[in-house]
Amino acid sequence: MIPLAENSGPTVIAAVIGLGSMGKGMALSMKRAGLDVVGYDIMPGAVDRFVAEGGRGAASPADAAADADIVVSVVVNGAQTESVLFGPQGIAATMKADAVFISSATMDPAVARNLAKRTEALGLHYLDAPISGGAAKAARGELTIMASGSRKAFETARPALDAMAGKVYELGNAAGTGAAFKMINQLLAGVHIAAACEAITFAAKQGLDLDKVYEVITASAGNSWMFENRVPHILAGDYAPLSSIEIFVKDLGIVQDMARSERYPTPLAAAALQMYLAAAGAGMGRDDDSSLARLYAKLSGAELPGSAKEPQSL
């Protein structure tokens, strides 16, 4: 991330819609890079926290986007993205001509294509730009961004992309391609988390030293980024949500819809989705996605760190 040079031209104004764990980090990364950043979130406290760190706050999405050259939407899904653009307080009617809308939500590629068509019909640019890397990388401006859109969309979005990302993949000139790449990532991520939770709970069932299992596996061929990242949550008995069960209920559901439309079998992703659904049904939907280990423990009688504190309803 390279800060904008002084006196290099007019200050770029960026609006961020959604100041959660990802959006706030992205907003602060842009601010550090010299952009004038205004933020909005449905939770007023999130806006207050952003303002306390030097940003500007807005009372509505439309107010945030009114003067922006770049709008970054960091919401959950396609339906929320559509609401940001075209809902009762939608920003499409208030964005200035030639501004760019950067969509960071994970969604079906067909939805991304439709939103891009509607947005571009209004004289705006749409960059399909889902993200990966988690809250820590968002805060450091080191996200991976999988982006597709017109050359003009990329050019207009460049100051924000440079500030937010360690790596920007430019994947084509049509919206929907970035979304498709993200769904491949989410298929793998969802399956890998489920496999990590299955493996570490299986180790617990055998009475193995779980800290030693973690040490051995992370130095062995069976390791994965998700095993290395999620198993420490399990070892600490800490399921505070960094990425929730419901995220993968949504994302693996999209994978299944896409696969069904293509008549393509995805049995591993389908099996993982059933585990996320079961965990959500057991009351863990808003907990960290490593909570799949708790579900495996309940099904098998295995004991995990902190299991004595589990609520009886699980």
Residue located via tokens 């399990």: 234
pLDDT band at 95 (very low <50, low <70, confident <90, very high): very high
What pTM was computed for the model?
Answer: 0.90
pLDDT band at 10 (very low <50, low <70, confident <90, very high): confident
Q: Does pLDDT of 3 surpass 70? A: no
Cα 311 to Cα 285: distance, rounded to the nearest angstrom:
14
Q: State which H helix or E strand residue 204 sits in.
A: helix 177-205
Q: Which pLDDT belongs to residue 306? A: 87
The answer to whether the beta carbons of residues 181 and 171 sit under 8 Å apart is yes
Q: Does pLDDT of 5 surpass 70? A: no
Q: Which pLDDT belongs to residue 134? A: 87
Q: Does pLDDT of 120 surpass 60? A: yes
Please pick, among 31, 182, 250, 298, the residue that the annotation labels catalytic. Answer: 182
Q: Would you call 96 a catalytic residue per the annotation?
A: no
Q: State which H helix or E strand residue 37 sits in.
A: strand 36-40
Dump strand ranges (E) for 53-185. Answer: 56-57, 70-73, 100-103, 125-128, 131-132, 143-147, 165-170
Cα 122 to Cα 36: distance, rounded to the nearest angstrom:
24
Q: Within its chain, how far is the Cα of 301 from the centroid?
A: 33
Q: Are strands 13-17 and 36-40 parallel, antiparallel or unpaired?
A: parallel
At CA 113, angle to CA 268 and CA 24, rounded to 5? 80
